Structure 1
Amino acid sequence: MKWLFNKNENSYPDYWTRYNACFLDAKPIDINTATYVVLDTETTGFNYDKDKILCIGAVKIIDGSIDISTAFEIYIKQDYFDEDSVKIHGIIKNERIETVSEEEAVVMFLEYIEDAILVAHHAFYDITMINKALQRLELPKLKNSVVDTMFIYKATRTNSTTIDAKKKYTLDELAENYDIDLSDRHNAAGDALITALAFIKAVSFLVKNKNYTLKELLTHK
């Protein structure tokens, strides 16, 4: 993107400067003490170039526990809706939900995540959609490390010869295996919580049975 090469850090808005500053002083962390932000997005559709984010839901995992008191949920104003995606997430045009502009949502999201490790199920999709929003604001991509619970879950199962190494597990399959309630499925905040619960269970298994470190956790992509 040409506009990225024509900018320096001083030309970005204050909120990006504050976000970027979170990464300037590296703090020693390990797999148990790291702060994770588990997120999910609901979007107008599944086209990275055409569609946009309707809602971001997120929860923090601090010292191995979900901090519900700091849960994050934000709805973004949109003029475009796709009927097929509405059937999944249930967010419809003109529904009585408080919304903010895309830039306001980005500001709040960056302030929320700071330098935390981001966690999502099929993370490439969510992170790409957020990066597209940043691109529209002429900002760089997210700087955070990212963990995908699909790959983390697979790492708990690869010792079995009966497991298909190429299988892509859905969030529903993780929830079923870990006996996680699915009543809040298909809304961003609910899916973020389900993902967080699955992440904690998978990481606990990997630490206990495979002596996983943070470095190993971050290698699964």
Structure 2
Amino acid sequence: MGPFIPAAAGDRTQPFDPAAPWPGTDHLGASVLDGLLDGGWGIVVTAAAATALAYLVGFPIGLAAASTRRRWVDEVLMRPFDLLLALPSLLLMLLLASIAPPTPWMLVLIVAFVNLPDIARIVRAAALEAAHRPAVEAMWLQGEHPWRIATVHTARSILPTAAADAGVRLVGAFYLVAAASFLGVGAGPEASDWAVMVDVNRGGIFLSPWGVVLPAALLVALSVGLNLLFDRLLNRREPA
């Protein structure tokens, strides 16, 4: 909500000015408070967009692999993902970023692509049991369309599992976006971004530490907060 909170934007002064009002100035002499208010929005939006895109592509792929009656279709859909899973996610992201233009939308595509193999495999594993239940076999014998069986019956049965995994994926995407921003992938050094603030201000940590300490603390708080939020939502029980 930081961008909607009015802040008194003062003139730029000396970088890492110890005499400036708390919480001090950054490497450009701008107020650290302004950067803190604006720096969380980009990370949250990028991570949410990447997670949504990854599920938009990975969910139907995993569902199709689990529902098909042709083994070769399952192999064609899932074996490329096994190869991608052999690479660490951060390394894969850096490899893709090295050949792609450094823009926020490209970062969304990269983070979504990195999460795609895990999502497809989890959806497939969750849907395998549901796709071979007696009720589904009866639908096949009655001549129901395969895609109708997959979307109406199988997809509904795995929605709780997909919702639980989506929460984990969102936190993981947040970590990847923060790491990418810290490494200079996606967001430039002039961007209002908490991870970028940690990177560009660390050179003056002994002069004005708040430019590093506060955004790092907010990154940790957002990560823990997202985990607690999804734990509460997923562990909520109906009253007896």
Q: Which TM bucket (shorter chain)?
A: under 0.3
The structure with the greater share of residues assigned to strand is 1
Which one has a bigger Cα radius of gyration? 2
What is the TM-score of this pair, normalised by structure 1? 0.25
The normalised TM-score by structure 2 is: 0.24
Structure with more of its chain in helix, by fraction: 2
